[in-house]
Homo-oligomer: A and B are copies of this chain.
Amino acid sequence: MKTLKVALKPSAKKKYARRAAAPGGRSPESSRIPLSEAINMVRSLDSKTSSYLQAMGEEMHALIRSLYPICRSITGNGVRETLRLINEQIPLQIFEVPSQTQVFDWTVPREWNIRDAYIKNRQGERLVDFQKCNLHVLGYSIPVHQEMTLDELKSHLFTLPEYPKYIPYRTSYYRESWGFCVSHEQWQELMARPDEVYEVCIDSSLESGSLTYAECFLPGQTEEEVLFSCQVCHPSLANDNLSGISLGVALAKTLEQSPRRYSYRFLFIPGIIGSITWLCLNESHLWRIKHGLVLNCVGDPGNIHYKKSRRGDAEIDQAITHVLKHHGADYSILDFYPYGYDERQYCSPGFNLPVGVLTRSQHGKFPEYHSSGDNLDFVRPEALADSYAVALLAIAVLEKNSVYINQNPKGEPLLSKRDLYSVRVGWLTDKDLEMAMLWVLNFSDGAHSLLDIAERSGIDFFRISLAAEKLKQANLLTGQQNGDK
């Protein structure tokens, strides 16, 4: 296999060149504060928190609004324009993978682009108009331009009878086809005029080109990586793709400001073919991925659903479960199943990466799913901010989780002679912290990580972590900078 990892073309390089840092020229952004500050914001319970989270939600929603109009697909200029806008926020490296490239069992498809599409009646009125809503066109429709009767047109029309006001979202990537998606109400109007003749036009192209994806890589102290995977292939669907992008961007902006133990890699890729392509191009480096999350559908008002990695007991599974348990809102933890988003590829048996999925409402289980109902009103700033908070806390757990060794394992150490007995820190009472210290001392035997201790004690990880910090300062713990067991 040669040059699968395609270098950017000179022109593209210029276009998508690494964003120059321009702090002066940018408006203040909530997300652009260091992790430790963001964590404090998210964890404290005062009015500062709520105004921070409100601003975060607005910032994320603004990005969604800017990306919403673009007609994306698994290839094409819509993806490129999307990545250009993301690149205005975080540093991206763009990759172009030529059509027909073999990636494991799959082949990179031809590149699809579309300029216009409509169904006109005899009067020349656009009854169905791509310019009004890009969901109207079946994704990957081949070009068509001809007059036809309703009878000829009928089999190319798709509707959602259960939700007659919504335009469905449909694609046909791997079988050549064309079609229009319309609301069931529109369809009924068309059906009411069986004798009409229509001008049907899809001004698209399906030609050799490339598949486009991007990475935002933030190096850390170690080359061990945390992977975040966001889809960029859906057209105007706000929750099911754009919310995931907005969360990825917000996390990257926060992490960019911070010292990082782990390296972080954010992928902005088309669904399925994108993750398969990325896995194929990066197979030899996958050992670096210690934790991962697929981000999608994180902006709707439903409760958080976390779907565990195939391993089921990965540290990311433990971290998110812990965070949600202490976060206050209702949530669901789901076992892995081989259906859903790109975790299907990351967790295929040949890789079995420790990658879970963070969503709010589950795919296929809300009425707006894959339809025009999944619009800018469906995603809420407060839900986006809440998803950001949970992901951020999980990142903080991963960053701080370690296995420590109690240096005074025979009996308890005398805390009072080290001034550790009546220490009050921030929101913690003496008793709180003393209890956390006893837990950390007793279970820091080389077999339990701080997260294990937090789980076993029922005490919030951050209190446990703070206790460990105090004990480390008093030379009662030595650290292994390694959360793996």
Contacts and interface: CB of A to CB of B under 8 A. Distances in A.
A427 interface: no
A195 interface: no
Interface residues of A, number: 42
Contacts of A283: 410
Given A338-B442, A442-B338, A349 B406 contact: yes
Given A441-B338, A442-B338, A350 B411 contact: yes
A105 B348 contact: no
Interface in A337-383: 337-339, 344-345, 347-352
Given A105-B408, A408-B104, A348 B442 contact: yes
Contacts of A350: 406, 408-411
Contact of A442 (B310, B412, B435, B457): B310
Contacts of A275: 411
Nearest to A348: B411
A279 interface: yes
A444 interface: yes
B338 A438 contact: yes
Nearest to A421: B174
A257 to B, nearest CB: 34
A267 to B, nearest CB: 14
B338 A410 contact: no
B104 A411 contact: yes
A1 interface: no
Interface in A295-342: 310, 337-339
Quick one: copies of this chain in the complex? 3
Nearest to A413: B105
Between A174, A310, A348, the greatest number of chain B beta carbons within 10 A of the residue's beta carbon is seen for A348
A342 to B, nearest CB: 10
A276 interface: yes
Contact of A104 (B272, B410, B438): B410
A408 B441 CA distance: 47
A435 B443 CA distance: 43
B105 A414 contact: yes
A106 B344 CA distance: 56
A132 interface: no
Contacts of A352: 445
Interface string A254-276: 00000000000000000010011
Interface string A199-223: 0000000000000000000000000
Contacts of A349: 406, 409, 441-445
20 contacts: A104-B408, A104-B410, A276-B411, A276-B412, A280-B411, A337-B457, A338-B438, A338-B442, A339-B435, A339-B438, A344-B442, A345-B412, A347-B442, A348-B410, A348-B412, A348-B441, A349-B406, A349-B444, A351-B411, A352-B445
A-B interface, 4 closest residue pairs, ranked by CB to CB distance from nearest: A350-B409, A350-B410, A338-B442, A349-B445
